[in-house]
Amino acid sequence: MWIRSALLLVASLLPASAPPGAVAQQKKVDLIVAENSAHRLTLRSKGNALQTYHVALRTVPVGAKERVGDHKVPEGKYTIDEKKPASRFHLAFYVSYPNAADRARAKKMGVDPGGEIEIHGLEKK
């Protein structure tokens, strides 16, 4: 059974430079790098950093997501599957978790890896 993880990242808090989205709108973002320990999310294009954001992450439990319901943040390489238009959060996107490595690890552990993980901004008011 697929369930929605409560929170992956809360983006759009404190842009490190330029107004939010100003640089990213000029070039196509081809990679999003989330650094959990640094609470940093960087939008990249052709290897160049376009925009960096300070982000809030789920702080407990610690470690990479392993199974459905563990409330952990996935760690690995993922793609943005689609924008979630009807969301109570600003700019919600589905992430391609679980990837092949996540599914293999979960199978070895005999657990469901979960799914429907999102990156999103703050809750709309």
pLDDT digits (tens, 9 = 90+) for 62-95: 778 899 988 888 888 888 888 888 888 777 888 8
Q: Would you say 56 and 10 are in contact if contact means Cβ atoms under 8 Å apart?
A: yes
Q: Flag whether 44 is in a domain.
A: yes
Distance CA 72, CA 61 (A): 6
Torsion of CA 45, 6, 123, 27, to 10 degrees: 10
pTM of the model: 0.65
Which pLDDT score is estimated for 113?
Answer: 96
pLDDT tens for 17-65 read 445 555 445 578 888 887 877 888 888 899 999 999 888 776 666 778 8
Q: Is 43 helix (H, G, I), strand (E, B) or coil?
A: strand
Q: Flag whether 33 is in a domain.
A: yes
Q: Flag whether 125 is in a domain.
A: no
- Domain, as residue range, for 24: 9-120
Number of structural domains the chain divides into: 1
